[in-house]
A and B are shown apart, each in its own frame.
Chain A
Amino acid sequence: MAKVFQFMSSASLEMLTGRTASNVSELEEMIVTCSESSVFYHTFSALLKMREAQAPYNSDFSAWVAENLHAPALAEKLTAVDFSEYRTVEDLRNRLLEIIRTYREEQAEASRRSCYEPFYLHDVRRFVYLTDKFAYDLASFRELLPTISIYSVYFHFIESRLSANLDCNDFSEWIEETLGLPDLASRIRRIDISVYTIEGLRQRIIDVVDDYLEKMPAEEDRNGGRA
């Protein structure tokens, strides 16, 4: 019997640290010294919120740099970082620092510019939990997709790579490894999170699965796709 997929979700309790940054060099210092959970909060958690509000940033750092430091080039470079490529927060932290340091070298003058509103560093206590939704095959997976929360979609598509140290999202992993549908897994893996809201991402996954189910070869149908 195929391994059942139990949907999970996550939630965050936001904390205030009292720490602020007022220019690029202070931001760099902050990113160097802050906790891993702070980096997670201002990147992975922020992305979820910004996608939902359709703001053109992927982190609190890039939003602050654009809105308060008025450094659009740096904001663009930070926004272009694709979090789904990072399997640890430390890797992501290093990438952000690399971008900031390069900017400081190239734009020494702009780096000293002070902001309108400081950046307030937050931290987070994060909780991951199982939901009561189970997929047994592709059909039940498809059926459940519209009913899970956006937090669950986000957890499986983006966050879980960090805990599972995966190269790809949970959905693709399960579809490939358990259902034995590498083509579908690959199509889901290629969905670009930077252009969708989480609701849009959910719909895109549904569309890809529907399309696949419609064209599914009979052999695969018997093996994994339909109950």
Chain B
Amino acid sequence: MSEVKLMDYREVVGPDIVEELMILAAHVGERSIKMVNSTKVGGGVAEMLHRTVPLLNELGITTTWDVIEGDEPFFEITKAFHNALQGKEGEFTKKQLETYLEYNRANFERMSFDEDLIVIHDPQPAAMISFMENRKNSWVWRCHIDMSHPNRGLWEFMRPYVEQYDAAIFSSALFSPVLSIPQYRFFPAIDPLVDKNRDLDENYVSSVFEKYGIPRDKPVVTQVSRYDPWKDPVGVVRAFKMARRYTDCRLLLVGDKAADDPESDTILEIVREEAGDDPDIHILIFSPSIATEINAFQRGSDVVLQKSLREGFALTVSEALWKKRPVIGGAVGGIPVQIINGHTGLLVHSVEGASLAIRTLLGRSPYAKELAENGRQRVKDEFLVTKNLKRYLLLCLGLDRKGFETTFLE
């Protein structure tokens, strides 16, 4: 991953965008940032930091990345925190809260915080700020989870810590709670140069379909998603069957399955039952998936679905739009931000709606193509890593200034 340079993005987003990043970075000047999160590998946050940190350094912003340490009891508590802040009911014991704070203190004492800007990602290290005395630098909390309806008890405990920050960043207005500090919006972003998204040779795409025994003799409708009830794979199978009464096509379901997740076994069983022995329905299970193969499935599909019933941001939508695929998405979570209905894709609210959308996109290919073109442009404008870099540069500039008047940078 580290071989990719800022200049490599010129070909993807255009030289003008990279040039303007360099101009903004020059206005930021000599500045240092420290990112802190809970893991170096796995998950979207780590994936994003692996790319953002070196690119910010290339732009002249000295950026480091530190990871908090903890053991099983701590991460069990923070996993429960994560779920509770996303709305799961339940109570935490005094002992659990104390353990959380003890680990935050231990990590605080182990790290240094001399940088101009400290960006703390997610709840795991969020309380570290409380141990900082005589703070002179800026601290910002970057929350990647949906905090729109946090568990009340836990939020009463967390809120005083969060409000010690200079600002918080959320992925969407839908995900943010009421806070006394300024809140910024940073959309999550995809990287167009990683294996999951980079351009692929058509021969490779064909070879992947061949490898998994999926003929491309008719249009392919695909959903790439975990086998999880909220991604509604059963609804996808039903919508596909309804659509196929009018238009011949295949359905491809591609999903990860955690080895120790009994819920995904159950849902997979229901999906298989719904699919029956239909030869046009292909169910693939990866554990874990291979990024270039997922990329190939998306690129080789005629329509991509993300028919979720509940969602976080659903960057799989941006991934498919970036590949100029016509996309159908459930109108939940961050999907409507990416899909402007009828212009960058189609939003649906039901199995019937999804079925009709499949028929529309397969039957009206010029329209599908137009949506796909617009969708790619929307991703280019808002959901690429380069836009994320721009947001960090603007954050550095914005934290220096009070008020909302336009700033002329000289």
Contact = CB atoms under 8 A, between A and B. Distances in A.
A interface residue count range (under 10 / 10 to 19 / 20 to 34 / 35 or more)? 35 or more
A20 B179 CA distance: 15
Given A11-B24, A52-B378, A53-B344, A128 B184 contact: no
A120 interface: yes
B391 A13 contact: yes
B408 interface: yes
Given A53-B377, A149-B14, A128 B341 contact: no
Contacts of B407: 125-128
Contacts of B81: none
B interface residue count range (under 10 / 10 to 19 / 20 to 34 / 35 or more)? 35 or more
B358 to A, nearest CB: 22
A183 to B, nearest CB: 29
Interface hub of B14, B16, B178, B391 (most chain A Cβ within 10 A): B16
Contacts of A56: 343
B343 A131 contact: no
B174 interface: yes
Contacts, number: 115
B173 A53 contact: no
Given A53-B343, A120-B173, A129-B409, A15 B15 contact: no
B295 interface: no
A14 B387 CA distance: 12
Contacts of B225: none
Contacts of A15: 182-185
A11 B15 contact: no
A43 interface: no
B306 interface: no
Given A35-B404, A52-B381, A53-B343, A148 B16 contact: yes
A225 B62 CA distance: 45
Contacts of B184: 13-16
A128 B409 contact: yes
A16 B185 contact: yes
B340 A125 contact: no
Contacts of B20: 9, 11, 131, 149, 151-152
A152 B409 CA distance: 15
Interface hub of A10, A11, A36, A163 (most chain B Cβ within 10 A): A11
B315 interface: no
Contacts of B341: 67
Nearest to A68: B336
Interface string B49-62: 00000000000000
A55 B375 CA distance: 11
Contact of A127 (B17, B182, B378, B406): B406
Contacts of B391: 13
A49 B382 contact: yes
A49 B183 CA distance: 21
B394 A125 contact: yes
Given A124-B404, A128-B409, A147 B16 contact: yes
Nearest to A123: B404
Interface string B1-31: 0000000000000111101100110010000
Interface in B209-235: none
Nearest to B340: A55
B332 to A, nearest CB: 10
Interface hub of B336, B405, B409 (most chain A Cβ within 10 A): B409
Contacts of A204: none
Interface stretch (B36-44, B271-279, B395-403): B395-403
Interface string A1-24: 000000001111111111000000
A14 B182 CA distance: 11
Contacts of B24: 11, 127, 129
Given A127-B406, A128-B406, A13 B343 contact: no
Interface of A: 9-18, 35-37, 49-50, 52-56, 63, 67, 117, 120, 122-132, 147-152, 163, 197
8 contacts: A9-B23, A13-B395, A16-B176, A16-B183, A122-B185, A125-B404, A130-B410, A150-B16
Interface of B: 14-17, 19-20, 23-24, 27, 170, 173-174, 176, 178-179, 182-185, 336, 340-341, 343-344, 370, 374-375, 377-378, 381-382, 390-391, 394-395, 397-398, 401, 404-410
Given A53-B377, A127-B397, 16 more contacts: A13-B184, A13-B397, A14-B185, A17-B183, A18-B178, A35-B404, A49-B378, A49-B382, A50-B340, A122-B185, A127-B409, A128-B406, A129-B24, A132-B19, A132-B23, A197-B377
